[in-house]
Amino acid sequence: MSGQLPPHPRPTQGTIYEDLGAFFPRIDLEEPVVQYTVENPSMSSNNGDNGPRTFWKSLGLIARERRRQQEISSPVDYRYTQLWGYRIEEVTTAGTGSLVPVATPNPEPHDGRNSAKWVKGELIGRGTYGRTYIALNATRGELIAVKQIELPQTNGQDNSPQHQLARSFNRESETLKDLEHTNIVKYLGFEMKPSVYIDIFMEYVPGGSVGSYTQRYGRFHDCVTKSFTAQILSALEYLHSKGIRNRDLRGDNILVDGFGTCKISDYGISYWTDTNSNLQGNSAFVGLPGSLFWTAPETFVSPGEIPGFKPEIWSVGCVAIEMWTGSRPWAEEEMVAVMFKVRKLLNNGLAPSLPEDVHISEEAEDFRQKCFKRNPQERPSAEVLRRHPYLTLPPDWRFNGFV
């Protein structure tokens, strides 16, 4: 492997466990490095030695044991180990018979939190600000994903998007840690080294994103679009009931596993400023530049506070456009033109349209129009939109590919 996971589709956990060395090439998986103590090693022992016993396991053995456990429990019942509240340390093997911390600049003294350890595997992909890696929880053997974002040196000025994200994660972590829903990527923990980096730990999702699948296959079969849209709305309904916003909903942030289960990632956190300073003078938008195409018009003009959850319903319409057409919304426009176009929309009611060669049903068109209501108050909530007739699937339909 070349240091990065094959771009598409990402391998399943089973495949990674099967060939762990290929995904963790810089780790000695057979070196015994993790110490365990068993209080009563053998109740049946007849040599009178029932005191605590210590022994060592390799990361490879720990991973194999975890894999067996995961095979026994159903994927739905599987509960990841939570890392919240722990000092989450990146470690590696070094031929010393124990796990050693990966050197970071200016290591800090231990702060009293219990430690959890993880090792880094191959790169999954690069985003605008960070890199996402496959990782192994070193004591539990679970395969997880970690997004690492370097914090730029700012000499006290910390308004960079990366610092905004770090603050947003700190602020929201009490809420984020308890969130659990089939259609969201579970956050497992968070570690920050001020002025150096943040690490965000998540469940690992095999497969790809809606964005990568539309790039690969073009427009989706209508039943796939209905199923995915309903799942996205189900996730939003849940997140909104917990007061969590999703300011960056787009195809690239909706991961899809091999069974056709969608999981929203990057929810509840944002690179947006807390104030209304930004790209366009007095507009509120400071999201990632690539997010513009999925962004509701009112987001560009409401100074300060972003209005409630309704901009996300607009974004749902944009994701549906991706699935109906195989391209991003406003596909015919360059970024700068879109900034103007969305502004124009405020005056004359334009919304992302469908190319002439794409035909959707009347129900789908009604769904599209509801998402793109000019007045955010007139857009239905996620809860209401989830019951739209367009989303009804034939009772015997099962996911069996994208097109």
Ligand X SMILES: Nc1ncnc2c1ncn2[C@@H]1O[C@H](COP(=O)(O)OP(=O)(O)OP(=O)(O)O)[C@@H](O)[C@H]1O
Binding mask of the shown chain, residues 271 to 300, with x at each position contacting ligand X by CB under 6 A: -----------------x-x----------
Distance between CA atoms of residues 81 and 166, nearest Å: 22
Among 147, 181, 219, 247, binds ligand X (CB under 6 A): 147
Binding mask of the shown chain, residues 153 to 192, with x at each position contacting ligand X by CB under 6 A: --------------------------------x-------
Binding mask of the shown chain, residues 2 to 41, with x at each position contacting ligand X by CB under 6 A: --------x-------------------------------
- The SS3 of residue 390 is helix
Among 252, 298, 312, 322, binds ligand X (CB under 6 A): 252
Residue spans of alpha helices (H) in 248-387: 298-301, 310-325, 335-348, 362-371, 382-385
Is the Cβ–Cβ distance between 315 and 249 less than 8 Å? yes
Binding mask of the shown chain, residues 113 to 132, with x at each position contacting ligand X by CB under 6 A: -----------xx-xxxx-x
Q: Rule CB under 6 A: is residue 380 a binding residue for ligand X? A: no
Q: Is 76 exposed, middle or buried (0-12, 13-18, 19+ CB in 10 A)?
A: exposed
Q: Which two tokens stand for residue 243?
A: 């007061």
Residue type at position 256: V
Q: Is 96 exposed, middle or buried (0-12, 13-18, 19+ CB in 10 A)?
A: exposed
Is the Cβ–Cβ distance between 189 and 201 less than 8 Å? yes
Of 202, 96, 107, whose CA–CA distance to 149 is shortest? 202
Q: Rule CB under 6 A: is residue 265 a binding residue for ligand X? A: yes
User: Radius of gyration (Cα) for the chain, nearest Å?
Assistant: 23
Q: Which is nearer to ligand X, 202 or 371 (CB)?
A: 202
The annotation status of 147 as a binding-site residue, yes or no, is yes
248 annotated active-site: yes
**H or E stretch covering 97:** none
Is the Cβ–Cβ distance between 133 and 121 less than 8 Å? yes
Q: Which is nearer to ligand X, 17 or 204 (CB)?
A: 204
Give least dist CB 248 to ligand X, A.
7
Q: Which of 248, 252, 257, 266 is catalytic?
A: 248
Residues numbered 191 to 230 that lie near ligand X (CB under 6 A) are 202, 204-205, 209
Q: Rule CB under 6 A: is residue 262 a binding residue for ligand X? A: no
Biggest CA–CA distance in the chain, Å, is 87
Give the annotated binding-site residues: 147
Give the annotated binding-site residues for ATP: 147
Annotated active-site positions, please?
248
- Site residues, ligand X (CB under 6 A): 10, 124-125, 127-130, 132, 145, 147, 185, 202, 204-205, 209, 252-253, 255, 265-266, 288, 290
